[in-house]
Amino acid sequence: MSIESILQDVPLFSPVPAASLEALVEAGQVVTYPAGYVVCREGEEADTMYVILEGRLRVFKQDEKGNEVELAIRERGEFVGELALLDGEPRSATVVCLTSCRLFVLQRAAFMELLLNEEKPIMSYSFLTALVKRVRFASTRYFKEELAQRALQAEMEAQRHRAMAQLVAGVAHELNTPLGIVNTAVDMIQKRLESEQLAAPLRENQEAQAVLAAMKEAANLADRHIERAHHLVQHFKKVSVGDLAAVRETVDLPVLVRDGLELFRINARQSGLEINFDNQLAAGEATWQGYPGPLTQVLLNLLFNIERYAYPDGSGGVVEIELRADRRREPASFVLVVRDFGRGIEPAHLEQIFTPFFTTGRGKGGSGLGLAIVKNIVTDVLRGAIAVESEPGSGTTFAVTFPQVVEER
């Protein structure tokens, strides 16, 4: 098969008249390279393009670590190096022969001469069409690779959270046994302290009565805190198992929010945070069909963010939690508002706060994933949306909107 007939099948040259194509072939040359031969290297000066007459070429780039990133495999009738004919800039990729190859080589000078003759409109159109196809292919491939990369990152993050949830559930389960034993022991002590056998001999001894009263008070205090610890463990199990299983449930939404705030109570006390919960839901509209574990995680992440950034170093402050129904939205939705009156967010940072790994608190242990995880949970799990408003020095408000009935995942 002649070179002209092969070039006629190349989109770049197919519109070119036969006479011009013959002149083009005369201006170029045919070369043969063995398998493994480097046709051109990334960064080299360039003024030549290659059309594959026989064989296969591999096109790749190198990343910062020297790893090869394959861009394409070109076969008979395809071409490489076309950008060099337009701008003469250094090669953007390396091209290697996968097999022995026979190539048609066209210099930039000959190509420009063809563009400048009377067939210029035809040649320009065909060349631009070929370039547009390449750009479309590259854009589509990049988009798919980016989606795959994000999906992989999301799955890795989900696996990490499942592992953490499983760990928390396991620890909570193990704590139940010693708590049960201690609860039984304290209950026994309380009954003995209240017994007549102990009280009768001590009625005439005021000092002994005072000691007995102190022991009763200590036993009651221990009993209350054991009950509180048991309550917290149950909540840990509920949240971790809910997050692990991600099962849709029908729950009382205000109760769920209060349970989440209870889990944060210790942190709030240590950080000097005063948390006020304003439940604006009527009694008949408090039922939610959704995923309790993920929603609790969203609330806790926002509270931890306030603790770390809004009121840093235990400075303390007020946090307002508001729960209301959005009756104007379709479908019917709930709105969970988390508002602080702390340091606020700089305008330059506000658009980046949901970006993975963006953080202004790297030195404080921030990973830059907290708010990114919040947004992913709200949009992907709760099928909702999250909005933020902030002003430096005046605080920040997050509004999480989600359907009253979340679709099954």
* Tens-binned pLDDT, residue by residue, of the chain (409 aa): 678 777 777 766 776 677 777 777 888 889 999 999 999 998 888 888 898 999 999 999 887 777 888 888 999 888 888 777 766 778 888 999 999 999 999 888 777 776 666 554 555 556 666 666 666 666 666 666 666 666 666 666 665 656 566 656 666 666 777 877 787 888 888 888 888 877 788 777 888 888 888 888 888 888 888 877 776 666 565 555 455 446 789 999 999 999 889 888 888 888 899 999 999 998 888 999 999 988 998 999 899 889 988 998 888 899 999 999 998 888 899 999 999 999 999 888 888 888 776 676 555 555 566 788 888 889 888 999 999 999 999 999 999 999 999 987 6
In a domain, 139, yes or no: no
In terms of domains, do 318 and 197 share one?
no
Region of residue 314 (left: phi > 0; alpha: psi -120 to 50; beta: else):
left
Measured between alpha carbons, how far is 378 from 400 in angstroms, rounded to an integer? 7
In terms of domains, do 395 and 251 share one?
yes
Measured between alpha carbons, how far is 15 from 24 in angstroms, rounded to an integer? 13
> To 10 degrees, what angle do helices 206-245 and 292-305 make?
110
In a domain, 257, yes or no: yes
Instruction: Kindly provide the residue ranges of all beta strands, DSSP E only, lying in 269-391, ordered along the sequence.
Output: 273-279, 287-290, 317-326, 333-340, 385-391
- Omega before residue 331 within 30° of 0, cis: yes
> Any bridge partners for residue 40, and if so which?
95
Model confidence pLDDT, tens digit, residues 328-376: 888 899 999 999 999 999 888 888 888 776 676 555 555 566 788 888 8
Q: What DSSP designation does 308 have?
A: I
- The residue range of the domain holding 402 is 246-409
In terms of domains, do 371 and 233 share one?
no
In terms of domains, do 241 and 159 share one?
yes
pTM over the 0.85 mark: no
Which residue, among 398, 384, 395, has the nearest Cα to 302 in the 3D structure? 398
Last residue of a domain, one of 203, 220, 245: 245
Measured between alpha carbons, how far is 191 from 201 in angstroms, rounded to an integer? 16
Q: How many domains does the chain divide into?
A: 3
In a domain, 100, yes or no: yes
In terms of domains, do 193 and 183 share one?
yes
In terms of domains, do 170 and 74 share one?
no
Q: What DSSP designation does 405 have?
A: B
In terms of domains, do 257 and 354 share one?
yes
Model confidence pLDDT, tens digit, residues 89-142: 788 889 999 999 999 998 887 777 766 665 545 555 566 666 666 666 666 666
In a domain, 145, yes or no: no
> Any bridge partners for residue 332, and if so which?
none
In a domain, 374, yes or no: yes
